[in-house]
Amino acid sequence: MTSPTSSEAQYALCAENVSLGYGDRIILENINFCVEHGQIVTILGGSGCGKTTFMKGLVGLLKPTQGRFELYGKDISALSAEGWLDWVSKRVGVLFQSGALIGSLTLAENVALPIREFSNTPKEMLDEIVRLKLAMVRLEGYGSYYPAELSGGMKKRAGLARALALDPNILFCDEPTGGLDPVISAEIDDLLLELNYLLGITMIVITHDLPTIMAISDWSIMIDGDARGIIASGAPRDIANSSDPRVYDFFHRQVSRGKA
Amino acid sequence: MERGLPFETGRSSEGELLVSFKVPLTFENAAEIWEGLNTLIARNDNSPLVLDLSGVTKVDSAGVALLRSLRRLCRRKGIGLRIESVQPTIQHFLDHFDRNAEVQVQPPPLREPLVARLDAYLVGQAKELKGFARFCSSVFVVAVRSVRRLRRFRWRETFYYLQLAGSDAMTILFLITFLLGVVMAFQAAIQLKQFGANIYVADLVSLALARELAPVFTAMLLAGRSGSFFAAEIGTMKVGEELDALAVMGFDPIEFITLPKVLALMIAAPLLTMWANFAGILGAIAVSGLSLDLTPYAFMHEVFTAITFGDIAGGLLKAEVFAILIALVGCFRGFETSMGADSVGRQTTAAVVSGLFLIIFADAILTVLYYLLGW
């Protein structure tokens, strides 16, 4: 992999005036930001502030009620199903909170699933790619295991292998270190950094794990449930000492003064 | 040079086969290159292969897999392989994978012989049966114990399941058994009409319904609706660690979860069976009135002469037995769920299948028993 992206667009991903919600309930409104190629951007926020809703919007599981998302210069909110497959599915990998592996398939079959569906790779090479991907997330030798037989950390790593199956340009991770111990969390952080460095993958990581935020972010965006939008944006070291008490409390693990 | 291929071939002065790629080694091209190289190697006279990557600007996972598969193929055929003129960034990428992925190819697990698999299957079935018997006995023990502390019994849940398994099933049960009555009346009429014995349609339909068909059909509906529901509910609770939570808090999962369900079905089944009797006879009356010139009054008069209290009670007793079996097997399957969402589905299916089997099995035993007792 030499060039991180095939597109000439200036940004990997842009949100313009986006509002997201379920029915009449607006969760986030007027979101504006852009992600540069090859950056790792973390999206932060307390529990229940709409991080997962945000992620659903970014990957297209939830259509914005207003505004638009641009992926490599194309408005993906207006794409047809075929256009979606062509433009988004091949460029985007998603690591879901729990790994979201298909329970009835082995790890190897899970990783092979998108490759088999979206390319005409011959069997021998397909097996080789699956082995490579599993080795990449340090799960070599686990190809014949079923997801139910794995620990939480292994499931996440396997989910990562599947998300990376087709060499996406941009990877979305929903709480990649949630529910994992500090050592395994650090391992996943390292893995993400390595993939970013080596493959030039742009990453959008949703998390509220402070060590992860500090370790991997080029840029952080903090969203807040009450404000229904972005309340801070910048390099994590800069915004950690923000004068906004909501941001400061988050970074210093303090009980919110407003709620205490 | 071959036409249309994504690479060019030539010979070096040492007789090596030179292959230089013209396209990026990516998902888009890897399959085509692989096919092309395979034919090339098959036609080749075992001279060493040299891959020239100077024209390659991009390599992705498929490209890496291509090169590795190629290396393995050449090793297998005893052909030398050299890769040269790799751009530094690509070399870096390839090195990473080589460092990371020196994995041995594992042989697929051997399939056991048929006899061993049959043996394992039978042992598994026997174990399951033993588990079910143990489960039933522990439910019995817990039930006896909870009779002594009725105030603590979870009556609210019992009524919830009673509504779910009982009153919510009334519409569909009515429809099914009404049509069953219609079908039976028609089938009987075809035969009995030949002898002018129309009136005996009433005897046949009412006896068959009361003694056999109403309880069995009710039980089948319960197995499909409620047995599966119980298994899925408990299975989901197990996957979500709710059962563990209950156990840690000091609840007995059997008392907490199983007993209300069993009791609910025990109450619902006889009531539903009576409802099925009613609907079936209504269906038969409709047919008799329309096509056999039998008035509803004459029909019911004949029913009351044909049928005894014992016939109905026998049917209700059957329904009671079926209900207990369905609830138990549904709960048992739920508790048998292992981790993983597919397990819930599998156990739910198993709950219905085992439920149906147990219904028929118990029905056969009870029918023989009734016969021997002269009921």
pTM given for the model:
0.67
pLDDT tens-place string over residues A93-116:
888 887 788 877 888 988 888 888
Predicted local confidence at residue B103, as pLDDT: 53
Query: Where do we find the tokens 């497959």?
Result: A85
Name the residue among A119, A198, A199 with its Cβ closest to that of B27. A119
- Nearest Cα neighbor of A88 from A184, A4, A13 is A13
Predicted local confidence at residue B104, as pLDDT: 53
Residue B196, token pair as written in the block: 């002018």
User: HSE on the CB side for B260, CA within 13 Å?
Assistant: 19
Convert A133-153 to b/e letters by CB count within 10 Å (16 or more is b): bbbbbebbebbeebbbebeeb
**Lateral strand order in the sheet of A219-224:** A92-95, A170-174, A202-206, A40-44, A219-224, A229-234
DSSP state of B6: S
Residue B71, token pair as written in the block: 């290396």
Residue B373, token pair as written in the block: 């007792």
B60 touches chain A (CB under 8 A): yes
Q: Which residues of A touch B28 (CB under 8 A)?
A: 119
Compute the CA torsion angle B191, B194, B200, B206 (nearest 10 deg).
Answer: 20
Q: How many CB atoms lie within 10 A of CB B132?
A: 18
A53: part of which helix (H) or strand (E)? helix A51-58
Instruction: Return the HEC string of A128-183.
Output: HHHHHHHHHCCCCCCCCCCHHHCCHHHHHHHHHHHHCCCCCCEEEEECCCCCCCHH
Say if residues B344 and B337 touch (Cβ distance below 8 Å): yes
Single-letter residue type at A38: G
CB contact under 8 A, A121 and B62: yes
Alpha carbon distance B107, B170 (integer Å) = 56
B239 touches chain A (CB under 8 A): no
Any domain includes A144: yes
Adjacent-strand bridge partners of B11: B17
Predicted local confidence at residue A183, as pLDDT: 86
Any domain includes A17: no
Alpha carbon distance B3, B221 (integer Å) = 67
CB contact under 8 A, B342 and A3: no
Q: What is the largest CA-CA distance in chain B?
A: 109
B68 touches chain A (CB under 8 A): yes
A3 has pLDDT over 60: no
Q: Which residues of B touch A115 (CB under 8 A)?
A: 27
B221 touches chain A (CB under 8 A): no
Interacting residues of B126 by C-beta distance below 8 A, sequence separation 6+:
none
Interface of B with A in 331-370 (CB under 8 A): 338-343
Predicted local confidence at residue B275, as pLDDT: 97
Average pLDDT in the A1-25 region?
A: 71
CB contact under 8 A, A122 and B31: yes
CB contact under 8 A, B58 and A2: yes
- In this prediction the ipTM stands at 0.72
Convert B266-284 to b/e letters by CB count within 10 Å (16 or more is b): bbbbbbbbbbbbbbbbebb
- Nearest Cα neighbor of B333 from B169, B220, B223, B168 is B223
Please tell me whether residue B168 adopts helix, strand or coil conformation: helix
Report CA-CA distances (Å) from B251 to A164, A248, B142, B241, B340. Answer: 44, 44, 12, 14, 24
Domain edges within chain B: 7-100, 149-373
Say if residues A111 and A165 touch (Cβ distance below 8 Å): yes
User: Could you tell me the sign of the dihedral formed by the alpha carbons of B281, B282, B283, B286, in that order?
Assistant: positive
DSSP state of B153: S
- Nearest Cα neighbor of B329 from B245, B240, B224, B236 is B224
A260 has pLDDT over 50: no
The domain in which residue A132 lies consists of: 100-167
By percentage, how much of chain A surpasses pLDDT 90? Answer: 3
Alpha carbon distance A70, A12 (integer Å) = 8
Closest-CA residue of B relative to A147 is: B340
Interacting residues of A254 by C-beta distance below 8 A, sequence separation 6+:
A248
B31 touches chain A (CB under 8 A): yes
Interacting residues of A145 by C-beta distance below 8 A, sequence separation 6+:
A106, A107
Pick from A129, A194, A195 the residue to mutate for testing the B interface (most B CBs within 10 Å).
Answer: A129
CB contact under 8 A, A103 and B341: yes
Average pLDDT in the A37-43 region?
A: 90
Q: Which residues of B touch A200 (CB under 8 A)?
A: none
Please tell me whether residue B10 adopts helix, strand or coil conformation: strand
A110: part of which helix (H) or strand (E)? helix A107-118
Please tell me whether residue B142 adopts helix, strand or coil conformation: helix
> Per the structure, how many domains does chain A have?
1
Say if residues A206 and A52 touch (Cβ distance below 8 Å): yes
Alpha carbon distance A49, B61 (integer Å) = 37
B124 touches chain A (CB under 8 A): no
Closest-CA residue of A relative to B28 is: A119
CATH of B7-100, picked from 3.30.750.24, 3.40.50.1820, 3.90.420.10, 3.40.50.2300, is 3.30.750.24
| Choice between A67 and B152, residue whose per-residue pLDDT is larger | A67
For residue B78, give how far its alpha carbon lies from the nearest alpha carbon of chain A (Å): 18
For residue A70, give how far its alpha carbon lies from the nearest alpha carbon of chain B (Å): 24
Q: Are strands A219-224 and A40-44 parallel, antiparallel or unpaired?
A: parallel
CB pairs under 8 A between A and B: 94
B111 touches chain A (CB under 8 A): no
Q: What is the DSSP string of B311-337?
A: HHHHHHHHHHHHHHHHHHHHHHHHHH-
Q: Which residues of B touch A132 (CB under 8 A)?
A: 61, 64-65, 68, 97, 100-101
Any domain includes A119: yes
Please tell me whether residue B55 adopts helix, strand or coil conformation: coil
Rg of chain B in Å (alpha carbons): 35
Phi, psi (deg, nearest 5) at residue B274: -60, -40
Please tell me whether residue A7 adopts helix, strand or coil conformation: coil
Q: What is the largest CA-CA distance in chain A?
A: 60
B82: part of which helix (H) or strand (E)? strand B81-84
Predicted local confidence at residue A256, as pLDDT: 65
DSSP state of A99: -
Alpha carbon distance A41, B127 (integer Å) = 53
DSSP E strand boundaries for chain A: 13-22, 25-35, 40-44, 66-71, 74-75, 92-95, 170-174, 202-206, 219-224, 229-234
CB contact under 8 A, A129 and B90: no
Phi, psi (deg, nearest 5) at residue B270: -65, -40
Closest-CA residue of B relative to A123 is: B31
A4 has pLDDT over 70: no
pLDDT (tens, 9 = 90+) of chain B, 375 residues, equals 444 778 888 887 788 888 888 888 888 888 888 888 888 888 877 788 888 888 888 888 888 888 888 888 888 888 888 888 888 888 887 887 776 655 555 555 667 788 888 999 999 999 999 999 999 999 999 899 888 888 778 888 899 999 999 999 999 999 999 999 999 999 998 888 888 888 899 999 999 999 999 999 999 999 999 999 999 999 988 887 788 888 877 788 888 899 999 999 999 999 999 999 999 999 999 999 888 888 999 999 999 999 999 999 999 999 999 999 999 999 999 999 886 667 888 999 999 999 999 999 999 999 999 999 987
Alpha helix ranges (H) inside chain B: 27-43, 61-77, 88-100, 114-147, 155-165, 170-193, 200-208, 214-222, 228-239, 242-249, 253, 259-291, 296-306, 309-336, 341-373
For residue B112, give how far its alpha carbon lies from the nearest alpha carbon of chain A (Å): 17
